[in-house]
């Protein structure tokens, strides 16, 4: 398929090489800064982004930019009705707004906090482990994540998703806390802590701790390749499912919609 890439930093370059290796064609790359992007746009000129995508003849779009620009890109791109996959994180609180816009204009968007196949398998493992450990009152739980020092949001969207999967099985917890504690946490609070350092692609750990022992479940990304592969496959599946009528336009979708295995 013909793919347009909005955002052409390190992730955009990896998306391009991955898309090409899967037999797709990258018809345009769009960025504010990248000197080798096919189309350079001014910061905040979201209509220029949409215009470049439409004129490229793209059949699908992958957006990996920055939390400060993601909503502008989504609002400009959705009316084109070209299937859109968004990999930028930091806009969870806008999902309802985007779903409403998609329904209004007939555009289709798919997003995930993490496109890695391994991470999505990790979600399922965490939830099942949480159900097992939930039967034993002596265990507490917490989530920790670490990313590179260029990551703009904290905690990561993946960490929050991991926490939600813990809550789904560990019923003694029902509140996620991401701030520092200045008094002891309440028993129902699940602490999600973050570290930013160096070039770490992403590490997420769930701790189940008792007076006798600690159980740790960890997913460690070796590179961004897993994210790139998952995002390209997500766009391929989104386009195919729309063409086959398995999904309908005008909606916001997630990983389970384009990867039924999850």
Is residue 107 marked as binding? no
Q: For 134-138, which contacts have Cβ atoms below 8 Å and span 24 or more sequence positions?
A: 134/169, 134/170, 134/171, 134/172, 136/210, 137/172, 138/210, 138/211, 138/212
Mean pLDDT within 91-120 = 94
Which range of residues forms the domain containing residue 238?
2-115+225-258
pLDDT digits (tens, 9 = 90+) for 85-105: 999 988 989 999 999 999 999
Q: Is 44 found in the same domain as 11?
A: yes
State both tokens at 59.
């059949």
User: At residue 262, does pLDDT exceed 80?
Assistant: no
pLDDT digits (tens, 9 = 90+) for 21-47: 999 999 999 999 999 999 999 999 999
Q: Is 111 found in the same domain as 229?
A: yes
For the question of residue 94 being annotated catalytic, the response is no
pLDDT band at 261 (very low <50, low <70, confident <90, very high): confident
Query: Which pLDDT value is given to residue 133?
Result: 98
Q: What is the C-alpha to C-alpha distance for residues 181 and 226, in angstroms, rounded to an integer?
A: 34
Q: Is 205 found in the same domain as 103?
A: no
pLDDT band at 114 (very low <50, low <70, confident <90, very high): confident
**Helices marked H in the chain:** 10-21, 46-56, 70-77, 95-105, 117-133, 157-169, 225-244, 255-258
Is residue 112 marked as binding? yes
Q: Is 138 found in the same domain as 52?
A: no
Q: CB–CB of 205/157 below 8 Å?
A: no
Instruction: Give me the percent of the chain exceeding a pLDDT of 90.
Output: 92
pLDDT band at 128 (very low <50, low <70, confident <90, very high): very high
Peptide bond into 25 cis (omega under 30): no
pLDDT band at 260 (very low <50, low <70, confident <90, very high): confident
Q: Is 200 found in the same domain as 106?
A: no
Is residue 114 marked as binding? yes
Number of other residues whose CB lies within 10 A of the CB of residue 43: 11
Q: Is 236 found in the same domain as 179?
A: no
Q: Which of these is catalytic: 151, 173, 219, 239?
A: 151
Residue 111: which CATH number? Answer: 3.40.50.720
Is residue 157 marked as binding? yes
For the question of residue 246 being annotated catalytic, the response is no
Q: Please report the sign of the dihedral spanned by the C-alpha atoms of residue 30, residue 34, residue 40, residue 46.
A: positive
Nearest alpha-carbon partner for 110 in 67, 78, 76, 79? 78
Q: Is 236 found in the same domain as 108?
A: yes
Q: Is 107 found in the same domain as 235?
A: yes
CA count, 13 A, side-chain hemisphere, 78: 25
Residue 128: which CATH number? Answer: 3.30.360.10
Q: Is 141 found in the same domain as 231?
A: no
Number of domains in the chain: 2
State both tokens at 258.
């384009």
Q: Is 73 found in the same domain as 29?
A: yes
Q: Which of these is catalytic: 13, 94, 147, 182?
A: 147
Is residue 169 marked as binding? no
Is residue 57 marked as binding? no
Q: Is 106 found in the same domain as 19?
A: yes
Is residue 158 marked as binding? yes
pLDDT digits (tens, 9 = 90+) for 190-215: 999 999 999 999 999 999 999 999 99
Q: Is 91 found in the same domain as 13?
A: yes
Is residue 148 marked as binding? yes
């Amino acid at each position: 398929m013909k793919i347009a890439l909005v955002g052409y930093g390190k992730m955009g370059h990896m998306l391009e090489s991955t898309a090409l290796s899967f037999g797709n064609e990258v018809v345009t790359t769009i960025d504010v800064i990248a000197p080798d992007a096919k189309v350079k746009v001014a910061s905040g000129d979201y209509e220029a982004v949409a215009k470049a995508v439409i004129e490229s003849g793209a059949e699908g779009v992958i957006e990996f930019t920055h939390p400060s620009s993601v909503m502008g890109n989504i609002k400009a791109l959705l009316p084109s009705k070209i299937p859109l996959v968004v990999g930028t994180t930091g806009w969870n609180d806008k999902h309802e707004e985007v779903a409403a816009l998609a329904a209004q204009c007939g555009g289709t968007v798919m997003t995930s906090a993490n496109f890695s196949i391994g991470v999505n398998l990790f979600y399922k493992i965490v939830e099942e482990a949480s159900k097992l450990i939930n039967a034993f009152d002596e265990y507490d739980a917490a989530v920790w994540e670490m990313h590179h020092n260029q990551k703009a949001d904290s905690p990561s969207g993946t960490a929050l998703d991991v926490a939600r999967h813990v809550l789904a099985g560990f019923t003694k917890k029902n509140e996620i806390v991401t701030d520092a504690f200045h008094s002891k946490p309440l028993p129902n609070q699940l602490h999600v802590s973050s570290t930013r350092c160096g070039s770490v692609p992403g590490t997420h750990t769930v701790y189940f701790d008792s007076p006798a022992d600690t159980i740790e479940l960890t997913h460690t990304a070796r590179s961004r390749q897993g994210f790139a592969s998952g995002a390209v496959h997500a766009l391929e599946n989104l386009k195919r499912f729309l063409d086959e009528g398995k999904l309908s336009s005008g909606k916001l979708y997630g990983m389970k919609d384009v990867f039924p295995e999850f």
